[in-house]
Amino acid sequence: MARVLIAGATSAIATAVARLYAARGDTVFLLGRSADKLEQVKAALGEQLVGCIVADFNQTDQSVGWLETAVETLGNVDIALIAHGYLGEQIPTEEQYERAEYVLRTNLLSAVALLVPLANSMERQGHGHIGVITSVAGDRGRPRNYTYGAAKGGLTLYLQGLRSRLWHSGVQVHTIKLGPVDTPMTVDHFKDFSFASVDQVAPRIVRALDGTGGEVYVPGFWRWVMWLVRWMPEWLFQRMSFLSGR
């Protein structure tokens, strides 16, 4: 039986992941921004849920306290998933620095604020899995979402370093690069073949966290798509409007 901490637990994907952990008998502690949604998740998880905290992740000075409460409640953390994020709109982040800063802080700095104490705690205990949901948007900057992509790309790079640091400690670090998923966060986006469902991605995230650390694309076909996009010459990239356009 694993002891699981999920941050951003009120997102559709994280809620589905929490249900899977509870269904297999793991104990779960949740951090989430919405009190109402946390109540709904609590009802769904039943006795497998051992605690939860309403948390605004941008209040980064509270991160250590949230983690200490989770560790004290669970005993230790075997699996931690950081799943919160904010997509935002690209054009406002180009017009107002405050909007850009909010996207960067929510998607990068607030995650790092949790990762610092979490990594130190797991390193001391000598085992555990740390999973963080990033995005394929972080593999290459595109005009339609490069502020969000920069935050997720920075987070991916941070996780690469963290994984190397913890390589011999018994702690596995997992970077989960999601493609677009049909969730409330993308409700205003046109849905094409590239969108996966929550029910498709949640089991793959759980399987990834049960394995060894590294980078995993969810769904897996994005590994090959983004390999091509990442290494495409600039002159060719700019001629492909579906990549370089708004």
User: What's the gap between Cα 152 and its chain centre?
Assistant: 9
Helices (H), 75-173: 90-95, 97-104, 110-125, 146-165
Condensed to tens digits (0 to 9), the pLDDT of residues 8-38 reads: 999 999 999 999 999 999 999 999 999 998 9
pLDDT at 42: 87
Cα–Cα distances (Å) from 140 to 77, 82, 123, 144, 146, in that order, read: 33, 22, 32, 11, 8
Band of residue 43 on the pLDDT scale cut at 50, 70, 90 = confident
- The total number of structural domains in the chain stands at 1
CA distance 229 to 159: 21
pLDDT at 183: 74
Q: Are 198 and 182 in contact (CB under 8 A)?
A: yes
Q: Report the sign of the C-alpha dihedral through residues 58, 108, 78, 29, in that order.
A: positive
Question: What SS3 class is residue 55?
Answer: coil
pTM over 0.85: yes
CATH of the domain at 173: 3.40.50.720
Condensed to tens digits (0 to 9), the pLDDT of residues 73-121 reads: 999 999 999 999 999 999 999 999 999 999 999 999 999 999 999 999 9
Band of residue 155 on the pLDDT scale cut at 50, 70, 90 = very high
What's the domain range around 223? Answer: 3-244
pLDDT at 190: 60
